[in-house]
Amino acid sequence: MAEPTSMAVLGAVLRSAEHVVIGSHVDPDGDAIGSSLGLAHALDSAGVPNTLVLASGIACPSTYAFLPGAERFRTPSGVPAPPVFVALDSPDLPRLGAAESLAREAGALVFIDHHPDALAEGHLNLLDSTAAATGELIWKLLPCLCIPPNANIATCLYTALLTDTGRFSYSNTTSHTLRTAAEMVDAGAHPNEIYASAYENRSAGAQQLVGRALARITLANDGRVAYSWIDDTDISETGALPEETENLIDFVRALGGVDVVLLAKIGDGTVRASLRAKSDSDVGAIARTFGGGGHRAAAGLTFEGDLAGLLERLLPALPGGDQ
């Protein structure tokens, strides 16, 4: 089950599939949506029938509704067990949310992912934690699908790469990342338009929500950690859509002089915390000790309790804390 799969084998399997269902993780981000749509367009080019399902909800998050094919996402319920299910940007089956059972029922289950904690739970597993985004792996797969890139594929995968590198700002941004982005631009992706759509098309409510998060920035651990928070009241009062909370932490992390930035989303009895490292702290390792996951520089966890309880337990584990 856990054998690594070569691009060539995976390409052959997908090319010969009668039907492919593509799923990604719950709370889909730009890489989940972009890599899914990029693969769908690639399979279209290869003449392979395909269906896009979302692990949570039916519609593509509005932030990525500009992407070609965004209207093709549907709910997994009612989709028959497919010959091939491709799980994108998901380290394990539970992350597929409502699509998990469909994935389990598939004739062949394929995982394509760049998360370091990916479990290789598929029959075929294309896992590469050196890739900046799952979209980069789809881009590399194109020659093995025997199709040339086109503008739709390039636009979706550039969006995956752009967003999963934080606009080429995270430490996963290498010269290879930038060259891959350049190839996508040559194939028809427009950096200016994609950036404006992904980052400069926010609703008034989303902007107000960012405002609340920024206005509440608080320094802790002798200034080495900054945290802020939003709750359901903020979301309802501003009218921001739930998915517009996705990259809130990118605004908070523009703060200088700190090692770690923490944004807490306070729900009913739970707090979902996003962590970003601004130094060489490994927030992924810290998140895992709290049952969460992620990368060295970007991680998350869910805490049962309130913000005060989270801070009491988490701050000591962060830089400048007493652990």
Whose Cβ is closer to a copy of itself: residue 90's or residue 172's?
Answer: 172
Nearest CB to a copy of itself, comparing residues 208 and 270: 208
Residues 6+ apart with CB under 8 A from 192: none
Q: Which of 7, 195, 270, 293 binds a copy of itself (CB under 8 A)?
A: 195
* CA nearest to 296, candidates 308, 311, 309, 286: 286
Based on the shown chain and the rule CB under 8 A, indicate whether residue 183 belongs to the binding site for a copy of itself.
yes
| Residue partners of 226: CB distance under 8 A and separation at least 6 | 217, 218, 219, 220, 252, 255, 258, 260, 261, 262
Contact between 233 and a copy of itself by CB under 8 A: the answer reads no
Q: What phi and psi values does residue 119 have, to the nearest 5 degrees?
A: -95, -5
Q: Given the complex with a copy of itself, which of 24 and 177 has the nearer CB atom?
A: 177
* Segment interacting with a copy of itself (CB under 8 A) among 69-77, 102-110, 192-200, 299-307: 192-200
Q: Footprint of a copy of itself on residues 145-174 (CB under 8 A)?
A: 167-171, 173-174
Is 18 exposed, middle or buried, given 0-12, 13-18 or 19+ CB atoms closer than 10 A?
A: exposed
Note whether 272 and 307 are within 8 A (CB): no
Measured from the CB atom, the residue of 16 and 207 that comes closer to a copy of itself is: 207
**Pick from 98, 151, 255, 317: which binds a copy of itself (CB under 8 A)?**
255
CB of 210 to a copy of itself, least distance (A): 5
Comparing CB distances to a copy of itself, the nearer of 18 and 186 is: 186
**Of positions 178, 241, 307, 317, contacts a copy of itself by CB under 8 A:** 178
Of 174, 235, 169, which Cα lies nearest the Cα of 199? 169
In Å, what is the CA distance from 198 to each residue of 29, 35, 177, 252, 297? 11, 15, 18, 17, 21
Residues 6+ apart with CB under 8 A from 284: 116, 117, 293, 294, 295, 296, 297, 298, 299
Judged by CB under 8 A, the chain residues 260 through 319 that form the site for a copy of itself are 278
Residue among 8 and 196 whose Cβ is closer to a copy of itself: 196
Report the C-alpha dihedral over residues 26, 30, 35, 37, rounded to 10 degrees: 90
The packing angle between helices 134-141 and 175-186, to 10°, is: 60
Stretch that binds a copy of itself, among 41-49, 97-105, 193-201, 282-290 (CB under 8 A): 193-201
The minimum distance between CB 123 and a copy of itself, in angstroms, equals 35
Tell me the closest approach of the beta carbon of residue 298 to a copy of itself, in angstroms: 12
Tokens found for residue 228: 């802020």
Nearer to a copy of itself, 45 or 173 (CB): 173
Our finding on whether 65 is near a copy of itself (CB under 8 A) is no
User: Residues 253, 264, 292, 314: which binds a copy of itself (CB under 8 A)?
Assistant: 253
**Among residues 40, 157, 226, 298, the one that binds a copy of itself under rule CB under 8 A:** 226
C-alpha–C-alpha distance, residues 98 and 82, integer Å: 15
Q: How many residues bind a copy of itself (CB under 8 A)?
A: 46
What does the angle CA 59 – CA 275 – CA 96 come to, to the nearest 5 degrees? Answer: 35
Q: Where do contacts with a copy of itself occur on this chain (CB under 8 A)?
A: 167-171, 173-176, 178-179, 181-183, 185-186, 191-192, 195-196, 199-204, 207-208, 210-219, 226, 252-257, 278
